[in-house]
Amino acid sequence: MGSLLLVIAVAALATIWVRNTRASRHRWLVRLNLPGTWECDGDTGRSVLELSGDLAAGRYVERSGADVERGDWVLHGEEIEFMTGEKVVSCTLRRFDDGSIGIDGPGRVRRIYQRRTSNVVPLKRAR
């Protein structure tokens, strides 16, 4: 009987821990708010990164001068992966202030992106 209570207690604690971890990750993704248009002023000029999709994955387009790169992106913890065909590039993602992120990795060395703001206000529909 004692071992059954111990198993139930461990299962309850594991369930609570998993639930809290998922809620914490969701709050972090909402604060990060990656989908949108991000701009970076670098040594080679202005780079514009457009991320679409949900909070943790989707499609991207990066324009830097005349160069255009398209593919998919996915967030794994604090790593963001950019996938173009067979090529997968993993970069470290850091959140600084609201509307400011840092991406560091191959092809995007220590870039600081600022969210492009617009005057369009999305209206929430009644459900």
- Residue 127 covered by a domain: no
Residue 74 has a pLDDT of 96
18, part of any domain: no
Alpha-carbon distances of 24 from 17, 47, 69, 92, 120, rounded to whole Å: 10, 31, 32, 19, 29
**10-residue mean pLDDT series, the chain (127 residues):** 90 94 88 91 83 93 90 93 92 89 89 81 63
**Confidence (pLDDT) at 124:** 66
pLDDT at site 59: 96
* 102 occurs within a structural domain: yes
- In-domain check, residue 26: no
Contact, 115 vs 38, CB < 8 A?
Answer: yes
Domain for residue 67, yes or no? yes
pLDDT at 35: 92
